[in-house]
Amino acid sequence: MKKNASEMSRKELASFIDYSILKPEFSQEEIIALAKEGVELECSSLCINPGYISLLEPFVEGTTTSICPVCDFPFGTSSTSSRRQQVEDVAQYDCVKEIDIVANYGMIRSGMLSEVTADLVEMMAVCKKYGKELKVILETDALNDAEIVSGCKCCLDAGVDFVKTSTGFLTGYDLVGGTVEVVDLIMKTVNGAAKVKASGCIRTREHFLALIDLGVDRCGLGYKSVRPILEASIDNDNSKEAY
């Protein structure tokens, strides 16, 4: 019987978290400090920009936390050959188990679904070559429900491992990120054929637990949210406080 999220230990909850360290203005000292926190909290991975893999590799060695580089971030508009090279570059690291990449959501909005699928097929070929999993960000706040469904189908046709909601960096739209409603739509569309990662605007413990109970495989959380959410786990006396 599946355990309710509210009954999970801090360590169990941390295994659902991709700890996001993606702001381009961060200094190396800030990146290292945040990475150390993600490792200390035993998060599943550190989501970072690809240029910092070598910097952070020593801090995850021998831990349960891996590095998840995010390619073609945050727009997803580079050429397929450029995107493929980015994936190739990061896939060669042993500390990398999964790779995030942004789908070209402008193409999804344009109905260019065969082009989106073909691009993702190329990314998957590289990931399979190195034994890595691919997580595809749809940027759902820029899409309507029909477009989200179409993006999911592109992901399924390409055989990707995860479908993911948001980058957290979209501008010019009302941002809701990984809401229960959006994630539920994705889960019903992929119907178990791919794993699901919720990300964007997940800032409370209540929201985080609701997504786990819904059945997500992973949640992307911003660095400011992770510790407050986990410190309310059942390992602590204040586990029943509202967040």
DSSP calls for 39-93: HHTT-SEEEE-GGGHHHHHHHHTTSS-EEEEEESTTT--S-HHHHHHHHHHHHT-
pLDDT tens string 107-122: 999 999 999 999 999 9
Which one from 72, 100, 141, 161 is the annotated catalytic residue? 100
Question: Does the pLDDT at position 198 exceed 80?
Answer: yes
% the chain with pLDDT above 90: 94
Indicate if 100 belongs to the active site. Answer: yes
202 Cβ contact partners less than 8 Å away, ≥ 6 residues apart: 177, 178, 208, 211, 219, 220, 221, 222, 225
Which one from 18, 132, 161, 164 is the annotated catalytic residue? 164
Indicate if 11 belongs to the active site. Answer: no
pLDDT for the residue 2: 81
Question: Does the pLDDT at position 240 exceed 80?
Answer: no
pLDDT tens string 207-226: 999 999 999 999 999 999 99
Indicate if 197 belongs to the active site. Answer: yes
* Reported pTM: 0.94
pLDDT for the residue 243: 19
Ordered by where they begin, the domains of the chain are 5-230 (3.20.20.70)
Matching residue, tokens 């820029």: 142
Q: How confident is the model at residue 232 (pLDDT cuts 50, 70, 90)?
A: confident
pLDDT for the residue 235: 55
Which one from 132, 135, 195, 197 is the annotated catalytic residue? 197
pLDDT for the residue 233: 67
